[in-house]
Amino acid sequence: MRIGVMLLLFCAFVYATEVFAPIEEVQTYDKAKVRLRQKLFYDPLLSKDKTLSCFSCHNVYGAERKPVSDGVDGAKGTFNSPSVFNAKFNFYQFWDARAKDLHEQLDGPIHSDVEMASSAELIEKRLKNSREYVELFAKVYGKPPSYALLKDAIVAFEKTLVTPALFDAYLKGEKALTPEQKKGLEIFKSYGCVSCHNGKNLGGNSLQEFGVVIPRKFDDNTTGKVLKVPSLRNVTQTAPYFHDGSEENLSEAVRKMGYHNLGTILSEEEIAHIIAFLKTLEGRLPATWTPDE
């Protein structure tokens, strides 16, 4: 009996302490569907003045190399553009977590005055006027274009943007990490980064304030507010960092996170180890990412 209880507790402990979960590559694609979905993602007809597409703000590893994105008529976005890669694993969308899934999220940039400033009616009208889109929608959905179908198509495309990395292979026991990467993972766990950056996406599943232990002031109105904990997948490729894109350098970003959110002063060596670990989260570009012309 006692041994049974001990075994049960051990199993529960082993199960419960696995704070990360590997992701799998999306294997099957329907070419016609991917073509329509890609086309919509790259097409500027979604914006009011036909100057911006989804790709305009989600270009480098699904993110953008600017602190905040440019909208139509010279407008500027509020937050740094988050990566669309692996976004399907997030339980909250947008930095302020105002959308709960990708369908809800898509309405945001399309309708926002500082982004695409467009509308469902305008987009639907443009799609119906395009012979190519009418044909593509008929082929894929058997229906004429509509805003609901457009959303469905773009979300389906985003769901293919998954980037498994070395860390996933390590979690599955298929590949090993170098001693430096392992040390980084150890620090990442023992210093408590993992208390927010956990799960499949190493983030995207909880909200937290920037400056939990040592407060930090921001120029925008986010000081002291909770924001979505961002995913760390491909973080080495998605500078600038933080919700306002205020940090260009990853080492500095790690140092600031350690100081403000963990209340600890990380040494250069520790930062180097953490970055070595973060590099294991860098995945291959998804097969569907490059436009299929």
Partner 1 sequence: MSKSLKIAIVAVVFIALVIWNYTYKQTIDTYFSNYTSTTTTLRDLKDTLQALKYATEESILFQYYNNDRINEKFLSLQKMFKVLESSAIYEKRYYDQTRVKLQQLEDAVRQKRALTEKLFELNARVKNSLSYLSSQIYQLDPFDKRYSQDVMKLLNYFYQVKNTLEYDQQRARELAKVLKGYSFEQKEKKLFHKLLQVHTDTLLKQLPEYIKTIAQSVSDREQKLVDETIAAYVKNSAHVRKNLNIQVFLIVLFSILGLAVILYFIFETEREKHTIMRLQKEY
**Cα 246 from Cα 79, distance rounded (Å):** 10
Minimum CB distance to partner 1, residue 106 (Å): 19
Minimum CB distance to partner 1, residue 134 (Å): 32
Residues 236-255 that bind partner 1 (CB under 8 A): none
Phi, psi angle pair for 258, to nearest 5°: -60, -40
- Cβ nearer to partner 1, comparing 17 with 28: 17
Residues 183-222 that bind partner 1 (CB under 8 A): 189-190, 192, 194-196, 198-200, 205-209, 212-214
**Cα 71 from Cα 69, distance rounded (Å):** 6
> Can you say how many angstroms the Cα of residue 74 is from the centroid of all Cα atoms in its chain?
25
| Residue 264 contacts partner 1 per CB under 8 A | yes
Per-position x/- string for 79-98, each x denoting binding to partner 1 as judged by CB under 8 A, each - no binding: ----------x-x-------
Residues 17-46 that bind partner 1 (CB under 8 A): 17-21
| Residue 263 contacts partner 1 per CB under 8 A | yes
Which of 293, 2, 251 is CA-nearest to residue 241? 251
**Cα 83 from Cα 69, distance rounded (Å):** 12
Residues 103-142 that bind partner 1 (CB under 8 A): none
Residues 1-20 that bind partner 1 (CB under 8 A): 12-13, 16-20
Please indicate whether residue 115 is annotated as part of the active site: yes
Q: Which of 25, 104, 115, 293 is catalytic?
A: 115
- Cβ nearer to partner 1, comparing 1 with 16: 16
**Cα 75 from Cα 204, distance rounded (Å):** 27
| Residue 290 contacts partner 1 per CB under 8 A | no
Query: How many Cβ atoms from other residues are within 10 Å of residue 200's Cβ?
Result: 22
Question: For tokens 């940090």, what's the residue?
Answer: 247
Question: For tokens 């998605």, what's the residue?
Answer: 238
Size of the site for partner 1 (CB under 8 A): 33
The alpha-helical segments, DSSP class H, found in 159-239 are: 166-171, 179-190
**Cα 286 from Cα 23, distance rounded (Å):** 13
Report the catalytic residues: 115
* Site residues for partner 1 per CB under 8 A: 12-13, 16-21, 89, 91, 189-190, 192, 194-196, 198-200, 205-209, 212-214, 226, 261-265
